[in-house]
Structure 1
């Protein structure tokens, strides 16, 4: 997929400890045929003085998923939870009042989130977004 200056994208982290997480960014410019220069929306440089910019392999970049409106989530729903400045893929294990408990298989952690920090998990497949709800 070709990306252009100004495109809103998400970067899939391939770093150990961050696998399965996605970070919002904007394309600054293509770099050759297989890389793009991006500026992150939530990650900062090491001195925290400005947004982090990186050259990323295009294979690690996807468009920003569309917003899927839901009024709540159910146990076993696959969701993205906003945590540590990025979106992490997990599964709802139980619900207590306003909190949804999400299990992350890559870290074996279970963390409680309010509805506002969750979104429907979607996969980018063959150039289309596929929402995943109630997968077991």
Structure 2
């Protein structure tokens, strides 16, 4: 028998990441702050980098379900990334899940492939982080893909 699912409760002011499931945003995470908890698993968040469509001086606020939220992942310091390593690359105001395909010799640049868009884009080391999954209330490191 499976134990019941436990839903993480977030508190007002807590920094979180929002997983966006809309077309064009699959595999992305955007940093936000919890503004309020409305009811069972429904929250209002204010994005750190996204703004209102008609007033770019105002941060975008949105109502989201708890299953779309996760705490900010812990920073994992690495000296370099490996080919086929699952990572997040910072682009277009959020973190996007991809895979390292190659390193540019002599620089700190890495090509990252995004399965959702079939694009391979060059990023500096400073805009890449180790990908982690939030599973049952714990951070889990993604294993290196077989290549």
Normalising by the residue count of structure 2, what TM-score does the alignment of the two structures yield? 0.90
1:29 alignment partner, one of 11, 36, 39:
36
Partners in 2 of 1:74 and 1:61 — Cα distance? 28
CA distance in 1, matches of 2:119, 2:145: 19
> 2:37 and 2:95 mapped to 1: Cα distance?
24
Give the CA RMSD over aligned residues.
0.9
CA distance in 2, matches of 1:120, 1:133: 10
Give the CA deviation at 1:116. 0.3
C-alpha distance in 2 between matches for 1:26 and 1:6: 6
Partner of 1:92: 100
Query: Equivalent residues in 2 for 1:1-136 (5 A)?
Result: 1-46=8-53, 47-96=55-104, 97-136=107-146
Distance in 1 between residues matched to 2:72 and 2:113, nearest whole Å = 23
Q: Match of 1:68, SS?
A: coil
Native 8 Å contact 1:12 1:21 kept in 2? yes
2-side partners of 1:49 and 1:7: how far apart?
A: 22
In the alignment, what sits opposite 2:4?
none
Q: Which has the larger radius of gyration?
A: 2
Choose between structure 1 and 2: higher strand proportion: 1
Q: How far apart, in 2, do the equivalents of 1:122 and 1:23 lie?
A: 14
Q: Distance in 2 between matches of 1:6 and 1:71?
A: 32
Q: Contact conserved, 1:12 with 1:61, CA < 8 A, in 2?
A: yes
